[in-house]
């Protein structure tokens, strides 16, 4: 399936978001760096994007993965929100399909359009979102020194690995294949070779 945004464009989303969110940070927050706050805000919206895409496509296709994993994505959002509340980092709770970051809005629209083509396409969209999520979480873990953020991102990444395995299994059952778009082939193969993980 040809995605409507290329890999470079998607990779720039996180970079763009850091600058966008940093500009509206609370002035008094000595515990987190501006980049830490921005990463939390961005990952909250990226997890929301996953939930929103799966909710929208799940209403169209009778796919267990979409319907089950959307609830996990809400849990991911809640986990990030809990840390933002703890550190008094501002964030918005927006309606389905709406985001502060215009790039995420474009990505949501593109992914939903792709996923309406077929059940296989919807599963591929799910795998693509989890693929991206794993890489973004890894990048943000490498740029923070806050243990609580590293811990929650590690747990979310664990969940995304399970989600990726579930989506790829569905793709295979539909007679398709998935090629990683953000993970290296080596990292992707290692995830697929692993068993379902306990992420708590």
167-184 pLDDT, tens per residue? Answer: 999 999 999 999 999 999
Q: What is the pLDDT of residues 89-123, one digit of tens each?
A: 999 999 999 999 999 999 999 999 999 999 999 99
Asked if the model's pLDDT at residue 133 lies above 80, the reply is: yes
Could you tell me the two tokens for 96? Answer: 């389905």
Hey, what are 81's tokens? 């929100």
Read off the pLDDT of each residue in 12-30 and give the average, rounded to a whole number: 42
Residue 22 banded pLDDT, cuts 50, 70, 90: very low
End-to-end CA distance of the chain: 33
Alpha-carbon gap, residue 25 to 69, rounded angstroms: 31
Stronger pLDDT, 27 or 100, i.e. the higher one: 100
Please give the distance of CA 7 from its chain centroid, rounded to a whole number.
15
| pTM for the predicted model, two decimal places | 0.86
pLDDT score for 200: 76
Q: Which two tokens stand for residue 32?
A: 């987190």
């Amino acid at each position: 399936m040809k995605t409507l945004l290329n890999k470079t464009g998607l990779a720039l989303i996180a970079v763009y978001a850091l600058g966008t969110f940093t500009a509206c940070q609370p002035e008094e927050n000595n515990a987190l760096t501006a980049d830490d706050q921005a990463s939390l805000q961005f990952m909250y919206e990226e997890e929301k994007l996953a939930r929103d895409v799966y909710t929208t496509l799940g209403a169209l296709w009778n796919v267990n993965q979409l319907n089950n994993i959307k609830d996990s994505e809400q849990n991911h959002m809640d986990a990030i929100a809990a840390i933002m509340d703890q550190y008094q980092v501002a964030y918005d709770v927006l309606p389905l399909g709406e985001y502060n970051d215009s790039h995420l809005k474009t990505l949501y629209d593109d992914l939903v359009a792709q996923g309406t083509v077929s059940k296989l396409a919807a599963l591929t969209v799910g795998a693509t979102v989890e693929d991206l999520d794993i890489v973004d979480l890894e990048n943000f873990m490498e740029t923070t020194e806050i243990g609580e953020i590293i811990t929650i991102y590690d747990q979310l990444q664990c969940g995304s690995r399970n989600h990726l395995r579930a989506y790829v299994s569905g793709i295979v059952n539909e007679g398709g294949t998935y090629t990683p778009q953000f993970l290296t082939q080596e990292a992707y193969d290692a995830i697929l070779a692993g068993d379902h993980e306990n992420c708590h």
